[in-house]
Amino acid sequence: MTDTPAARRLPLVLAAVVLVALAVSGLRPYDRFTWGLEVFWVIGGLPLLAVLWRRFPLTSLTCCLLAAHALVLIVGGHYTYARVPFGHWLQDVLELSRNPYDRIGHLMQGFVPAILVRELLVRTSPLRGSAWLAPLTVCACLAFSAFFELLEWWAALAAGEAADDFLAVQGDQWDTQWDMACALIGAISALLLLAARTTGSSPAWAAPPRARDLSHGHPDAHRRGTAVAPAVVRHQPEPDVRPRHPPVRRGGVRPSARVPGSQARPDLQLDRPVPGQLGGGRHAAEMLLMADPEIDAVFCGSDQIAAGLVETVRERGRRVPDDIAVVGYDNWEALSTETRPALTTVEMNLELLGRTAAQHLFAAIDGKATPGVHKMPCRLVIRDSTA
């Protein structure tokens, strides 16, 4: 994740700009009721992003687009969409019969959510690299647009004529259809223009662990990935079922995968099908075998996922390790030694981790805190699943 002064400032600067615009727009809006309906998404969205930021920071591109969309909503709320001066200017230039500013708003209603939805799906679902990613993104944007039209209908039923400025129909009987068409055009345009720029993008900035937060500690995930990759990746594409420290571990796996004879395929990497569950492994096995029936090795993010994968692979008539080698992670012996065949897995050395954590805790109690991330050694435990 990018952690520079500029990256730290960007979300804060954008939030400040939006808040200032929101405050100014609320001073003397044309219609207070319409203003409230239009800026509701901004007033609700900013606190939500702030609460979720530490767990799910967004990319710089998505932050900029969300800020731009917020400004479009704020301007429309201040003037009402049918009275925005820029829309009147555009109406005169293009010789239109109505103020088109609401069309711009609905284009943004498809354009910006498309990038946001795509980022959510890429980072939290198995759809990264899937042919279904773009169609499902567009469908999500259309669903939101349809829901917004329902909100306009409900507002009209509840408020009557007071909601006319919010609806901004301007005498167009096909206004609802035009709104959804604009959202569709916006979503498709966003994917065509910006999808390539969002793939692999890092969040604008994610806060590191607090300096005195001694609950944050993990084994050397980067070294763990580096150690296991040469033993497995020589014979496999790289379908890494996303672990608990995915950026760090993949940082260790990928360089080590570039060994002579490697046939690693990042397009087969699966991100969190069902993290830490047997069902995740079953789901991963189905997707991998469907994507490449000749796959011959899998590096999983946990022993649970590996066990579920082994189970499904065997049900499909493939032998482990003869046809497909499988490596897990955790060395949870209650599972890894009972799986048939027993799992080759990565040992995190939890005993040493716990002892070291306790030492740091007592040191902190004595006023000798040792903040930061402390890495522990690990090892690859060879068993029958890769023999």
Q: What pLDDT was estimated at residue 244?
A: 45
Domains of the chain with CATH codes: 5-198 (no CATH), 221-386 (3.40.50.2300)
Look at residue 17 and give its three-state secondary structure. Answer: helix
pLDDT in tens, the chain (387 residues): 444 567 678 889 999 999 999 999 989 888 888 888 888 889 999 999 999 887 888 888 899 999 999 999 999 888 888 888 988 898 888 888 888 888 898 899 999 999 999 988 888 887 877 888 999 999 999 998 888 888 877 777 776 665 555 555 555 667 778 888 999 999 999 999 988 776 545 555 544 444 444 444 444 444 444 444 444 443 333 334 334 444 455 555 555 555 566 555 555 555 554 444 666 677 777 777 777 777 888 888 788 888 888 888 888 888 898 888 898 888 888 888 888 899 999 888 777 878 888 888 888 888 888 887 777 778 888 999 886
Each residue of 314-353: pLDDT tens digit?
Answer: 888 888 988 888 988 888 888 888 888 999 998 887 778 7
List, for residues 115-124, the tens digit of each pLDDT value.
999 988 888 8
**What single string gives the DSSP state of each residue in 130-144?**
-TTHHHHHHHHHHHH
pTM, rounded to two decimals: 0.51
How far is residue 301 from each of residues 111, 129, 290, 306, measured CA to CA in Å? Answer: 34, 19, 20, 8
Residue 143's identity, in one-letter code, is A
Residue-level pLDDT at 204: 53
Torsional sign, CA 155, 156, 162, 168 = positive
Q: Are 362 and 269 in contact (CB under 8 A)?
A: no
The pLDDT, as a whole number, for residue 203 is 57
Position 334 scores a pLDDT of 81
DSSP character at residue 119: H
Q: How far apart are CA 273 and CA 276, in angstroms?
A: 9
